[in-house]
Amino acid sequence: MSAVLPLPAGAPRGPFLLGMRGWIGVTVALGVVAVVVPVANLLVPAGSVFHLSDYAVQLVGKIMCYAICALAMDLIWGYTGILSLGHGVFFALGGYAMGMYLMRQIGADGQYRLPMPDFMVFLNWKEFPWHWAVSDSFVAQMALVVLAPGLLAFVFGYFAFRSRIKGVYFSIITQAMTYAAMLLFFRNETGFGGNNGFTDFKRILGVPIATPTMRMLLFVVTGCTLIAFFLLARAIVESKFGRILMAIRDAESRVMFTGYDPLRYKLAVWTLSAVMCGVAGALYVPQVGIINPSEMTPAASIEIAIWTAVGGRATLVGPIVGAFFVNGAKSWFTQAMPEVWLYALGAMFIAVTLFLPQGIVGLLRGQDGLFARLLRATRKEAGSER
C-alpha cells in the first residue's frame, strides 16, 4: 500500500544527518525541553503568564512518550513498509518492567504495610514469583525494559519474517499478539496485578516520585530521549541500511535477488522499533503513575499507527508532529466535547487518508507543499502588479 504513495526517500547526502535548519530545530527543541520548560514550571511564580502548570508538563511529557512510539512506528512502517498493529505490547512491556521496580520501591508503605506489593498480599502470596526475582534492582529492571520487548519482538519477528508473512496478514497477527498479551496480563495469576495493573508509586531510586523536581527530571529525561532517538533514526535512514529498508518497502524480491537477506534487515529494524517503544513505556509509567493491561488493547496499538499517518510517514519529524497533534486534539476534545472525540479522531484519519497522503508534514514540505504554493502565489501576484 505504501508503494503507491509518493513518499520521500533519503535526502541527497551532504550535511551530517540534518541540514542547517534541522540542527537549529534540534537545538531549539533541546533548549525548550531542558531549559525553558523547567524554568517556566519550577521558577516562574504560579500567577505569571509565563508559568507552565504541572498539568501541562505532565501532558507534554506523556505525549513525548507517545511521540517515541510514533517514531518507532515510522521506522518499521514508513520506511520498511511493515504495518505493525501490535506496538502497544512493546510499550506496555517496557512500562511493566519499570512498574515492577516502582512497586518494589513502595516497600512497606502500601495499604497492608507489608514488604510485598498490595496485590500480592491480597492474593495471599507469601513470596515473589520467579519473574520478580530482580525487581528490586533498578539496573536489572532497566535492562529488562530493553530486553523484554526486544526479545519478544526478535522471536516473533524471526518466525513471522522467516515464514514471509507480509502486508495485512502481518498486521493481523501483530494485533493477535497484543490481544493475547492483554488477556494474559489481565489474569491475576500472571503476577502483574491483573486488570488493576500497578499504581500508587511512591519513590524512584529512593526519591519521592510526586515532587515537582522529580516530575521535571522525568520530563527532561523523556525529552532528551525523544531527541536522541530522533537523531538515531535519522542516522539509520541516512545510512545504506536505511536505503535497504526503503528498497524492501518498494521491491522486496529485487532486494533478495540482489543478494541481501531481507529477513535480517527486517528483524533488525523491527527489534529496534520494539525496544524504542519499550523505553517509551518505561518513561511513561512514572510520569502517568499507572500501568495496566489497557495499554495492550488493539485500539491502543492502532492509535500509534494513526499518529504516524497523520503526521506523515517516512519523514521522522512527521510522526512526532502527528503524536502531538492527535493527542493535543484528544486532550482538548475530551475536555471541551468528550462525546465528539471518537468521531473527530475518525474524521481526522479519513481526512488524512483522502487528502494528505503524506500527512501534515507533507502538506508543508516540498514542491506541492503549502509553503511552496503560498510562496508561488504571492510571487505571481507581485508579478502581475508590476
Partner 1 sequence: MTPDLMRAGAETRRAADERAAAAAAGRSGGRQASWSRVATGELDLAHGAILYLDDITVSFDGFKALDRLTLSISAGELRCIIGPNGAGKTTMMDVITGKTRPDSGRAFFGSTIDLLRLRENEIAEAGIGRKFQKPTVFEHLTVFENLELALKSERGVRSSLFFRLSGEQLDRIGETLVLIHLKAHAQKKAGLLSHGQKQWLEIGMLLIQDPRLLLLDEPVAGMTDEETERTAELFLSLEGSHSLVVVEHDMQFIDALTRGRVGRRVTVLHEGRVLAEGSLAEVQGNDEVVEVYLGR
In the complex, the residues that contact partner 1 under the rule CB under 8 A are 3, 6-10, 12, 236, 239-241, 243-244, 246-247, 249-251, 253-262, 264-265, 268
Give whole-number Cα distances, 340 to 244, 331, 334, 385, in Å: 42, 12, 8, 46
Nearer to partner 1 (CB atom), residue 7 or residue 226: 7
Nearer to partner 1 (CB atom), residue 177 or residue 314: 314
Nearer to partner 1 (CB atom), residue 1 or residue 49: 1
Question: Least Å distance between CB 368 and partner 1?
Answer: 15
Question: Least Å distance between CB 164 and partner 1?
Answer: 11
Question: Least Å distance between CB 22 and partner 1?
Answer: 20
Nearer to partner 1 (CB atom), residue 64 or residue 237: 237
Nearer to partner 1 (CB atom), residue 228 or residue 351: 228
What are the grid coordinates assigned to 320, written together? Answer: 512526532
Question: Least Å distance between CB 14 and partner 1?
Answer: 12
Nearer to partner 1 (CB atom), residue 244 or residue 291: 244
Q: How far apart are CA 277 and CA 94, in angstroms?
A: 7
Question: Least Å distance between CB 28 and partner 1?
Answer: 28
Question: Least Å distance between CB 334 and partner 1?
Answer: 38
